[in-house]
C-alpha cells in the first residue's frame, strides 16, 4: 500500500475523527473506505432489471428502432398552435 497525505481543515478533521471513533475504527481506514465507496459508485452504472420478467428486455438494435419510430412525436406541428 502507498501512503499519502491529505490536507484537511480543522472542522473536517474533527468531524472525521468523531465518525471514526463512533465506528470504532481509525481515520485512515475510514477515509480509505469512503474513497473506495465513492469511486465504486461513480464507476458503476445503475441498471435496473426488476421489471425485466414482466416487460422483457430490448436489444440495442430494438431500442434504436424504437427511438427512430417515436422521434416524429417529439416534433411540434406549429400549424396546430396558431
User: In this predicted model, what pLDDT tens digit does every residue of 31-73 receive, in sequence order?
Assistant: 999 999 988 887 776 666 677 777 778 888 998 999 999 988 8
Q: CA–CA distance from 29 to each of 7, 25, 50, 52 (Å)?
A: 16, 7, 34, 39
- Domain map of the chain by residue range? 10-44+51-75
The residue with greater pLDDT, 81 or 17, is: 17
Q: CA torsion sign, 22 to 24 to 26 to 30?
A: negative
Mean pLDDT value across residues 14-40: 93
Amino acid at each position: 500500500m502507498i501512503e499519502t497525505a491529505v490536507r484537511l481543515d480543522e472542522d473536517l478533521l474533527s468531524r472525521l475523527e468523531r465518525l471514526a471513533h463512533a465506528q470504532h475504527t481509525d481515520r485512515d481506514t475510514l477515509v480509505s473506505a469512503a474513497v473506495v465507496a465513492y469511486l465504486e459508485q461513480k464507476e458503476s452504472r445503475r441498471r435496473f432489471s426488476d421489471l425485466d420478467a414482466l416487460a422483457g428486455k430490448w436489444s440495442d438494435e430494438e431500442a434504436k428502432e424504437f427511438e427512430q419510430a417515436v422521434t416524429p412525436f417529439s416534433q411540434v406541428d406549429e400549424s396546430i398552435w396558431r
